[in-house]
Structures are given as structure tokens and as C-alpha cells.
Structure 1
Amino acid sequence: MNKKFSVVIAGGGSTFTPGIVRMLLENLDRFPLRTLKLYDNDEERQGILGEALAILMKEQAPEIDFSYTTDPEEAFTDVDFCMAHIRVGKYAMREQDEKIPLNHGVIGQETCGPGGIAYGLRSIGGMIELIDYMEKYSPECWMLNYSNPAAIVAEACRVLRPDSKVLNICDMPVGTLRRMSQIVGKTPDELEVRYFGLNHFGWWTSIKDKEGHEYLDQIREYVAENGYLTTVEVETQHTDPSWQQTHKKAKDLLAVNPRYLPNTYLKYYLYPDDEVSHSDCSYTRANEVMNGREKEVFDAARTITEKGTAAGDEFHIDSHASFIVDLARAIAFNTHERMLMIVENNGAIANFPDDAMVEVPCIVGNDGPEPLAQGKIPDFEKTLMYQQVMVEKMVVEAYVEGSYQKLWQALTLSKTIPSAGVAKNLLDDLIEANKDFWPELN
């Protein structure tokens, strides 16, 4: 393994960037780097993290050329991989995504329902811009995209940049698999899963170890009593109070459909009224993040800069994000890694539209992901998925056509919204809040 790679992290001012950098440093034996760059269009925000990370890199990996910039040509020239995790509108707009729907009696969530649609419409332009920069300055580069809302972003990439080297992936199944591994006393690397669905909308149908032992029934029995709550916490991202409630809710999701193990995000579609009743319009998940991770990360960066050293490192490592290195390695070294990816269906789910962006296990090599066949799926899951995938398709169509009508229809079709009237009132408020980000709708 003599080759070293050049990586740009798009979204350099993200609260996740320090954890990703630390994760990359922890995996240099598996994925060697020669260059690491940060790119963001917010110079001030990225500068706070960039200055601290420059100190960290100088102390821990001085052989790696590290820089941060707001110039796309500088950022994207001579790079092998772009790791993209952008948030257009930042947490201020996430707060609006959550609070505006709640004011209409509808769930407020950053990737699901009207909040996810609002965020998706903001994200499309930013993602296409990044893809175009990448293809202009480093045509052979691969983009590893884990920007939310991944379902809408993936559909937009399929429609607007169908030939681009963009891989869409989500960390949520990785986090849940960690919990499953605790339940059965294994490590995540020892387990192999079968799964079908859309992003943040799917089911595990098998969890086996390398010897072929099936743990589905054992985990299902545990989840029926405890949800995905476990006694040992091994990650930082999904342990806040709101996430603990989400993990617990899995037992109610399983009760509705005990055949398979549910993705926790299904609670927003199967129990939207329950979610609204337990939500606080004045303090949502966005506030929790701004007062928690946002403050902690930027305070840690300022502390490192003030001290002039990262000794006693204030940044937490995102250990679950090692899946990003696994994906990069699969492309770089043709490892044929088995991973859950968001890909065009093309028969992977036999009785589902070929042009749907689905989330299924794939074998990943240097040509990209090859989906594994999941066969036919039952009517209950298929019908729920079809309704949701049509919401995502209509959102992208509304963006491309600048169509108010199609966006109203998309909101009306969502299981999270009770009526066309509520959808229209919500849409009008979201248009006003997003006037600096959305295309003009007619």
C-alpha cells in the first residue's frame, strides 16, 4: 500500500469535521493521506475549526499537507476523494425546518416530512455546485456524500448529474448495527446484514455472523421489550436525550410490523401524531444540537487555538464514521466491501420501480456499488415505500420545474401531513422562510 490519497472535506465548517479528521488520522494505516483540505463557503466558521485542526495536524501528522480554503479551484484541484457533508442554511434554518411544521401541528424533523423537504430543496443547489467543481478540477475524483437529507439529495443527483461519480451513504444504519451488535454480544464487523428500503425508511431482514448464525429473532425479542436502547453507549452522536427516546420507540414500530427490524426514522411516518404531542415548539432538536455539539466543538477549537497545542485533544473522534474510510478504501483498493448504499434500484428490489433511489446492501469496488438482489418485498412495506419515494421524486421535479403545484402535491402526499389544506399553509410559510435559498416557485 504505497499510494497516498488527496481528500477534500466539503463542509469544512461542520461540527462533524473535527471528528472526521480525527477518524482519518486514526485510519492512516488503512487509508494513507498525502493531502487533506477543508472547503466551505463560510470563511469565518470554517476558519475557527481550520485554525485548530491545523495545529492538530502539525502535531499528529506533519507529513500530510493540510489546508482550508473558500476557493473552489484550490480546494478541488488534485483530489482523489471529496467527502461531502454540507448543511445549506446551517442550524438556523434547521431550527425553522423543525419549528414551522410544529406550529401547524405537523412533525418538525430535519430529514423527514416538511422539514426534510425544505432542507432538501436547499441542499440540491449546493450539492450540484460541489459536483460541478469536482468534475471541473478533478474529473477522476469520487464524491462520498453523506449530506442530509440523503434521499432527496440522491434523487437530485440521479436526475441532474446521472453520470457523476457520486456515492450516497448514511451513517444511521451503522449506528443501529452497533446497538444490534451489543444486543447479541458481537462487534459490528462480525455481523452481515440484509436490508431494504429508502434512506431513513427501511427494514433489516437478516443479521448473521460470519459463520451464518441468524440473530434476527434474538434481536427482535429484545427490541420488542427495550427498543434499540442498550446498556453500553459506544458512540457520541446518537446518545442525546431525544435520540434515546427514538431508540426506545423502536419497540412500537416493531409492534406495527413484527416481520422485520425497523429503521428508527419510521416513527415519523407511523406515529406522527405521537411525535407532535411529545415535541416542544420552543426547544427542538436543533436547539439541543446548537446548545450541545455545536457549542462543544467550537469551544474546543477555540481552546486548542488559544493554547497553541492539541495536546489533551479537545475533539471527539467519530468512531462510527469509519464507514467513510471503508467506502474510500473499497473504491481505492477494490476491496469489494459490503455496505448499505443509496443506489438506483434497477431490479435490486424486484417489485419496486427501477428508477427509485433505494437503500440496500451493495458490493463496492473501484467501479462503484453493485446492489445485491433483495427479491420481492411484502405489500405493506412496498406501499409505504412507494408513497415516500414519490414524495421525494416530486420534490426534485418541483425544484427542476420551479413548480409550486408539484411541491404542494409532494407535501400533501407525505404521510406526515394530514391534509392538502395543512400542506398549503405549511408550504407558504416555508417559502417565506426559505426565500434566500429555494428557487422561485410558480
Structure 2
Amino acid sequence: MKKQRLVIAGSGSTYTMGMMMSLIEEKDHFPLKDLVFYDIDEKRQERNAEATEILFKERYPELESFSYTTDKKEAFEDADFVFVQIRTGGLAMREKDEQISLKHGVVGQETCGPGGMAYGLRSIGDMIQLVKDIREYAPKAWILNYTNPAAIVAVALKKEFPDDERLLNICDMPIAIMISYAKMLGLEVWDIVPEYFGLNHFGWFTKIYDTAGNDHTDRLKSKIIHEGFIPEDKEIANDVSWQKTFEQARKMLMDFPEFLPNTYLQYYLYPDQMVEKEDPNCTRARQVIDGRQKRVHDTCDGIIEQGTAEGADLHVDIHGVFMVKAAASLAYNLNERYIVIVENNGIISNLPHDAMVEVPALMTANGPKPFAIGEIPVFYKGLIEGQYAYEKLVTEAYFENSYVKLVQALTLNRTVINPVKAKAIVDEMIEVNGPYWPELK
């Protein structure tokens, strides 16, 4: 089994240490020769890197080389895989996005509504440049992108790199939901075989089987409705905001019982309720800054100070395990089934061919091989077409420097709808995002 040269781009992320634990957990299935951290924020990267160096000496001594750098050539040359998790503007800009949205009485969230629009416009340029940098030094590397908002980023990257077959956008939200399904059904999450369709953060599970072919869908629906629904993934299980989100997913299922919803649909189906429960002075971004970010930074500082990772608050997270398992399936042609983002091309036959859809696919050495979905019902088709039009307009606004298309995008988005409000939000977002956005005309 070939050992891989892996690069983590955006290694200053608060998710990096969970990813490191996942690499340790999966080292027999995705063995590494070299691991490289790359980030433009040297100081933020350094904390994670120094803690990782100690952690790997103790738990991954067979790794031949670990390094961290801000030099593109040093990072990407001869890479086999690059995992990308960048956040242009950082959590500080996410907080501003959320506050501006809430000020105008609409959803404040990093991937949905105006927050997703603002973050998307910030992400596109940096992601395009990053892919170009990687391709300069590693033309054949697999690029697995986690950068949000994945839906908008996926559309933009497909437009810019239409023939790059080794560039794949993936999201861990479906598998995070499946962890809760598995707990309720008494199964292991990797023994669940889901049927699913939609866009990123905008989809539905239609069936839940196990590897023996048993259909658990109706039993699962009944358990969620009558027993409740809670997050089980360690990263979010004790987070009050996520607990409320899973409660809302139960309500969505009760209101629309045909399919099991992705939790993010709450922002589009109940936007007014989502606004009412948010506090502009304690946004979701602020909760992350004071919560996960502080916890991760404190943990890394403790490891560095003590010179050991023994007793540190580190654990394997689904974000990392999903990425590593998907990479292993690509690297070793395992043909394992994962939910990923791919160009539609008739997969969902009554949606646009160029839509970037999120569906189950076999991950092979030649890339993802998605399963055909066929036609979807009118209600879901209508919702998806409106959301995809928004995503496409945001992307076109970036490439065409179009103010009008950005206002059109928000007017279409179910979290806004009102064109007067859409224009006011875009105007204020331009002021705040000036250095990060293209100059709109």
C-alpha cells in the first residue's frame, strides 16, 4: 500500500487537530509518508503545528516527515493529496456577516442567506488562486475541498476548472446526521447505506438502509418523531445551538414527512423563527470564537507547554474521518460509497445539468461515480431550482463584477426574498467586505 504525501491547506483551522486525530485513527487504511501544513497565517499555523509535532511523535512515530510552511512550492510539490479548509476573512468577518444579516431581520449564518453570499464572494478568489498554486506544483494531486460555503465554491471552481477531474468538494454534514441515525438504530455509522439528493446544505435522505439491505427508513422516522432527535457527533453533541438545530430537524420531518431533511434546511423553511432565536451580540461566530476556537487553542498551548499530548482534550471527529476515508477510497480504488458534490449531468434528471448536486457516489481511483437519482418530486425540485439559481447568480456576480446579479441572488434566496431588503444588505456588505470582494458595478 503506497504511503501518501498529504498537505493540509489552511492548517491554522480549529478543525486541524481533530483531523490529526483522524489521521492517527485511520493510519492503517490511509498511511502517510509525509505530512505538510500550509497556511498564510504563520502564527495561527504554528500553534497547531507544534502541538501536532508532539502528538505525532507519541502516536504516529512511523511518519517519515512532518513540516509546516508558508511557501507554496515547499508545501505542494509532489503532493498526492491536498485537504483544503480555508476561511477568507476569518471568524471576525463571519461575525460581521451574521450581525449585518440580523440587523436587517434575516438569517445570520455562515453558509445560508446573506452570510453565505458574503462568505462565498470572499472564498471564490482565494480558492481559485489556491487551486492554481497546487496545480503548478502538483498537477495530479487529489484536491479535497471542505471550504465553505461549499455549494457556491463548487459552482465557481467548476466554472474556472471545468476539466479538473481531481478536484472534489465534500461536506461532512450528511455523515454527521447519519451518526445520530446510527445511534438511534443501533448500527455503526459506516454500516448505513443512505439514499440522498440535493445541493450542499440543501438536501434530503430518501432511504436509510444497512449493508445487509434492510430498510430502516420508516422506523427511523417514527423514532425521531416520537423519541426526539439529538446530535451525537462529539464535536457538536454538547453544543446548545446544534441541539436546537436537531430539534428543528424533527419539526421539519413532522411538517414534511416524505423525506428526512438535512438540518440546514431549517434556515430556508423557517427563516423568521431562525431570526427570532438569534442574538446579534452573541452570534454563532462569537460562540465558535469563545467556544471551539478557545478550547482548541488552549489544548494546543497545553500540549506545547507540557511537551506531551497525554491527557489532552483531543478526539477523532467525523469531519476528519470522513475526509480521510474518502481519500483512502480514491487512493486505493476501494469503491466505497460516500455522499459528495458532483456536477449533475443528468443524475437528477429534472434539474439543470450544470448544477453541483450532493448525492451518493462510489469513490474510485478514477474519481467519484455517482448513482442516478432520476426525477425528484415537484416540491423539492422547486426549492432546489430556486436555491441553485441563487448560487449561480452569486458566482456570476463574482466573475462579472455584477452588483445587479448579487441583488437578484438575495432576492431569490428564501431567507430574504424582499428586493428592497436585498439591496440594503448588499450595500452594507460591500462596505464591510471591500478588501475581500471584487469591485461590483
Kept after mapping to 2: 8 A contact 1:253/1:267: yes
What is the Cα deviation at residue 240 of structure 1?
0.6
Residue 376 of structure 1 aligns to a residue in which SS? coil
Other-structure match for 1:95: 95
Other-structure match for 1:157: 157
Distance of 1:43 and 1:439 partners within structure 2:
25
Distance of 2:21 and 2:126 partners within structure 1:
25
Distance of 1:433 and 1:6 partners within structure 2:
39
Deviations 1:328-358 (A, max 9, x none): 1111111111110110001111111110000
**Residue correspondence of structure 1 range 142-181 to structure 2 within 5 A:** 142-164=142-164, 165-181=166-182
**Residue correspondence of structure 1 range 12-27 to structure 2 within 5 A:** 12-27=11-26
Kept after mapping to 1: 8 A contact 2:175/2:318: no
Distance of 1:432 and 1:423 partners within structure 2:
15
Distance of 1:316 and 1:189 partners within structure 2:
18
Distance of 1:179 and 1:387 partners within structure 2:
29
Other-structure match for 2:277: 278
Which amino acid in structure 1 is aligned with residue 282 of structure 2?
Y
Distance of 1:205 and 1:175 partners within structure 2:
16
What is the Cα deviation at residue 93 of structure 1?
0.7
1:401 partnered with 2:372: no
Residue 330 of structure 1 aligns to a residue in which SS? helix
1:203 partnered with 2:213: no
What is the Cα deviation at residue 238 of structure 1?
4.9
Distance of 2:394 and 2:385 partners within structure 1:
14
Kept after mapping to 1: 8 A contact 2:176/2:233: no
Residue 407 of structure 2 aligns to a residue in which SS? helix
Other-structure match for 1:365: 364
Deviations 1:108-143 (A, max 9, x none): 000000001100111111111111111100111010
What is the Cα deviation at residue 300 of structure 1?
1.0
Which amino acid in structure 2 is aligned with residue 385 of structure 1?
I
Flag the 1:292–1:401 CA change in 2: closer, same or farther, 3 A: same
Other-structure match for 1:39: 38
**Residue correspondence of structure 1 range 106-185 to structure 2 within 5 A:** 106-164=106-164, 165-185=166-186
Flag the 1:215–1:251 CA change in 2: closer, same or farther, 3 A: same
Kept after mapping to 2: 8 A contact 1:227/1:249: no
Deviations 1:62-86 (A, max 9, x none): 3320011111111101210000111
Which amino acid in structure 1 is aligned with residue 369 of structure 2?
E
Flag the 1:226–1:111 CA change in 2: closer, same or farther, 3 A: farther
Flag the 1:227–1:378 CA change in 2: closer, same or farther, 3 A: farther
Other-structure match for 1:83: 83
What is the Cα deviation at residue 59 of structure 1?
2.6
Residue 144 of structure 1 aligns to a residue in which SS? strand
Flag the 1:385–1:234 CA change in 2: closer, same or farther, 3 A: closer
Deviations 1:27-56 (A, max 9, x none): 111111010011110111111111121222
Other-structure match for 1:225: 226
Which amino acid in structure 2 is aligned with residue 196 of structure 1?
F
Distance of 2:146 and 2:242 partners within structure 1:
19
TM-score (norm 1): 0.97
Distance of 1:238 and 1:321 partners within structure 2:
16
- More divergent stretch after superposition (208-217 vs 219-228): 219-228
Which amino acid in structure 2 is aligned with residue 416 of structure 1?
T
Deviations 1:240-275 (A, max 9, x none): 100000000012211332111111111100000001
Flag the 1:84–1:320 CA change in 2: closer, same or farther, 3 A: closer
Distance of 1:250 and 1:227 partners within structure 2:
10
Residue 338 of structure 2 aligns to a residue in which SS? strand
Kept after mapping to 2: 8 A contact 1:176/1:228: no
Distance of 1:175 and 1:246 partners within structure 2:
13
Flag the 1:226–1:11 CA change in 2: closer, same or farther, 3 A: farther
Kept after mapping to 2: 8 A contact 1:223/1:250: no
What is the Cα deviation at residue 401 of structure 1?
0.4
**Residue correspondence of structure 1 range 373-392 to structure 2 within 5 A:** 373-392=372-391
Structure 2 unpaired stretches of 5+ = none
Distance of 1:237 and 1:70 partners within structure 2:
31
Computed over aligned residues only, the root mean square deviation of the Cα atoms, in angstroms, reads 1.2
Other-structure match for 1:311: 310
What is the Cα deviation at residue 309 of structure 1?
2.1
Deviations 1:198-237 (A, max 9, x none): 000011111011222111111111222355326xx44223
Distance of 1:250 and 1:357 partners within structure 2:
24
Kept after mapping to 2: 8 A contact 1:8/1:76: yes
Distance of 1:424 and 1:319 partners within structure 2:
38
Other-structure match for 1:422: 421
Which amino acid in structure 1 is aligned with residue 342 of structure 2?
V
Other-structure match for 1:192: 193
Residue 322 of structure 2 aligns to a residue in which SS? helix
Other-structure match for 2:344: 345
Distance of 1:315 and 1:192 partners within structure 2:
29
Which amino acid in structure 1 is aligned with residue 333 of structure 2?
N
Which amino acid in structure 1 is aligned with residue 158 of structure 2?
R
What is the Cα deviation at residue 282 of structure 1?
0.8
Distance of 1:340 and 1:239 partners within structure 2:
25
Structure 1 unpaired stretches of 5+ = none
Distance of 1:107 and 1:440 partners within structure 2:
25
Residue 107 of structure 1 aligns to a residue in which SS? coil
Distance of 2:175 and 2:376 partners within structure 1:
22
Kept after mapping to 2: 8 A contact 1:235/1:320: no
Distance of 1:248 and 1:74 partners within structure 2:
46
Flag the 1:149–1:239 CA change in 2: closer, same or farther, 3 A: farther
Distance of 1:368 and 1:300 partners within structure 2:
37
Which amino acid in structure 1 is aligned with residue 197 of structure 2?
F
Aligned length: 439
Kept after mapping to 1: 8 A contact 2:195/2:207: yes
Other-structure match for 2:56: 57
Distance of 1:30 and 1:243 partners within structure 2:
31
Which amino acid in structure 2 is aligned with residue 423 of structure 1?
A
